[in-house]
Amino acid sequence: MATATNMKLADETSNSDAMLDSLLQEQFRWQLALDAIRVFVVLQGSPKTTDKAVIVVKAAAGPVREAWLSVLTDALHSFAIHTLPCAITPERLLGGLDLPATLASGKRVVQSGLLASADGAVIKVPMADLLPEAVSAQLTGVLDEGGVRLERDGESAFLPTRFGLVLLDESEGDADGGEGLDPALIERAALHVDLDRISVRALDLVLEDEATVLSANPVANPIADPVADACGLCAAFGLMSMRAPLQLLSVARALAALDEREELAQSDMERAVQLSLLGRATTMPASAAEPQEETEPEEVDQQPEPDNSQDNEPPEPEPTNPDQDRPDDESEDEVQEQEAETELPPDEMLVEALVASLPPGLLEQLRQQLTAVQQSKSSGRKGRSRGNALRGRPLGARRGALSAGKRLDMLATLRAAAPWQTFRQKQVSHTNATKNLHLRPSDFHLRRFKQKTGSTTVFVVDASGSTALNRLAEAKGAVELLLAESYARRDHVGLVAFRGKSAQVLLDPTRSLVRAKRSLATLPGGGGTPLASGLAEARSMALEESRKGRRPTIVLITDGSANVALDGGGGRAKAMEEALSVASTIRVEGYQCVLIDVGRQPSNRTQRLADAMGARYVAMPFASAHNVSAAVSNSLSAPRRKAG
């Protein structure tokens, strides 16, 4: 009895410790988020061209984000704030011809776009993760060049503009496999804030003594060579882009400026790393003593993190001091001693100091977060490509009303107006007949385009034991050949594999051959054959694709010996029955399908499945990868089967 009570007590204490820890971490993050705002304002006001106020805020909509945004708005009171909606048209973004005004005046009237008119202001992008590729590419281009290069509608100009950018990333991030914020935008951002793991309670506590955050910095400890440090630090966190050190330096300098110091101090650099690098690190400095060379991002996932994080953890912070996020004097001294004794390169020193300055557990969480992000990245987070109604083959002009997003066919419009000119001239001659041209809305002709619908090939690969033994390598080879072909056709490619108990989406539809090959290469074989799950997964991918306006084709590669049901349970009969029922759903929905039988011999079972799916059946008893690929290419170009 007594021991039980003791244990319970011990549990409670450790629980409350854990709670305190997590509260500390939340406060730490909130302080970081507030510091980021201060730095943002400094960068926004800075005349230096390298100081680019770009911040990525990872946060779901909610009270924490609201609080943060209201602090930001207050801090930016002297700057205008524009909002950039995801659905912005190129005309509004970059500028172009103002058609109504041009027609009314008979002179070319150009309207400037959002980016050019936001010179000196701040642009806020809600749902930045949903920003179409075309828009984000233009944003990064304008940020880099310091101006809009306008080549539209007969206008050619360079409009200088410099604006701050607040990117609100609302993607769930880790496991949803959806579209994340464009990596090109992430790379341009000097500041990275994560509000997702802060709860409202942390924010209440800190807001009271907000002012103490920056002044809590220990006395300046000047750095000899900030440039070398910045480069070393970025490399240590796996950020190989040359923009990262520049951003780190400008954040550190902004911090020093906030503290009214000229010289950069080590504490500035530490804080800058927390604000600028931690949020997007692709690798964690495993140990400061280790050489920092192996920071190639690809190597990271193979490399198991040596579990010596404990060595780097600081002593437990005193719970009575919630503001503590710096190493205490003692560890600072230690750091200095080390510097004198061993003459470590400064970046390693800084990494060590930095690790020591983080609250306990944070680093571990960051690490976990990091692996999660990497996993989802390798499974292809980005299948981004959105249709544009104004693209494609021209279809000629048709009369219609002018509205946003439509393109006027000038010549057709003029042609339509021409026969009426004499008549209209007379009509208005008693008022002001100075106009040369009389256009009526009924003259407007709009350009029409036929958009080529893209297509997506969804590969469903049976990686179960039965296939693995015989033909998995062959199946992989076939898929790779098909991938190369899809690539030549500019198709999207998705990859579903099933083995063991369930199916798994290996790759969301993408056009990147490299990524597709990578995910295929790492596909292991073995286990049961959950055919129904595989088909269900493929079906939902196909459905998603057709919603996006692309035409899906399902290519199923299996030996057809289903033996795992949808619920993960065994039973050949049930498994096959379910597979057939999913297959018939696919048939009803009318996707083009191909089934490649990789069984030892062509079997009735697989043939039946193909019939149920409405799939073209290709038996490949002893086929080479090339044969399989040729078979599929043929059936892809063959006329589509009618469903039902």
- Rounded CA-CA distance 440/420 in Å is 10
DSSP per residue over 45-86, as a string? Answer: H---TT---EEEEE--SSHHHHHHHHHHHHHTTTS-EEE--T
Mapped onto helix, strand or coil, the DSSP state of residue 151 is: strand
Shortest distance, position 497 Cβ to other proteins, whole Å:
17
| Closer residue to other proteins, CB minimum distance, 187 or 589 | 187
Shortest distance, position 575 Cβ to other proteins, whole Å:
32
DSSP per residue over 496-523, as a string? Answer: EEEETTEEEEEEEEES-HHHHHHHHHT-
| Closer residue to other proteins, CB minimum distance, 113 or 528 | 113
Shortest distance, position 597 Cβ to other proteins, whole Å:
22
Asked if 591 contacts 552 with a C-beta cutoff of 8 angstroms, the reply is yes
- CA dist 539 → 211, 343, 508 (Å): 55, 61, 13
Q: Which amino acid is at 325?
A: D
Q: Which amino acid is at 346?
A: P
- Rounded CA-CA distance 552/542 in Å is 5
| Closer residue to other proteins, CB minimum distance, 291 or 644 | 291
| Closer residue to other proteins, CB minimum distance, 511 or 587 | 511
| Closer residue to other proteins, CB minimum distance, 203 or 235 | 235
Shortest distance, position 259 Cβ to other proteins, whole Å:
21
- Rounded CA-CA distance 184/186 in Å is 5
Please name the helix (run of DSSP H) or strand (run of DSSP E) that holds residue 616, with its range, or none.
strand 616-619
| Closer residue to other proteins, CB minimum distance, 148 or 575 | 148
- Rounded CA-CA distance 463/379 in Å is 17
Which residue carries 């630090």 as its tokens?
233
| Closer residue to other proteins, CB minimum distance, 18 or 414 | 414
Shortest distance, position 152 Cβ to other proteins, whole Å:
5
Shortest distance, position 385 Cβ to other proteins, whole Å:
8
| Closer residue to other proteins, CB minimum distance, 146 or 315 | 146
| Closer residue to other proteins, CB minimum distance, 475 or 481 | 481
Shortest distance, position 466 Cβ to other proteins, whole Å:
24
Which residue carries 């050619």 as its tokens?
156
Q: Is the dihedral of CA 235, 239, 243, 248 positive or negative?
A: negative
Asked if 123 contacts 135 with a C-beta cutoff of 8 angstroms, the reply is no
Shortest distance, position 5 Cβ to other proteins, whole Å:
58
Shortest distance, position 510 Cβ to other proteins, whole Å:
9
List all residues 6 or more positions away from 36 whose beta carbon is below 8 Å from its beta carbon.
55, 191, 192, 193, 275
> Which two three-digit tokens encode residue 281?
């690190």
C-alpha 19, offset from chain centre: 32
| Closer residue to other proteins, CB minimum distance, 230 or 595 | 230
- CA dist 428 → 418, 422, 443 (Å): 16, 10, 17
Asked if 22 contacts 201 with a C-beta cutoff of 8 angstroms, the reply is no
Mapped onto helix, strand or coil, the DSSP state of residue 450 is: strand
Shortest distance, position 217 Cβ to other proteins, whole Å:
24
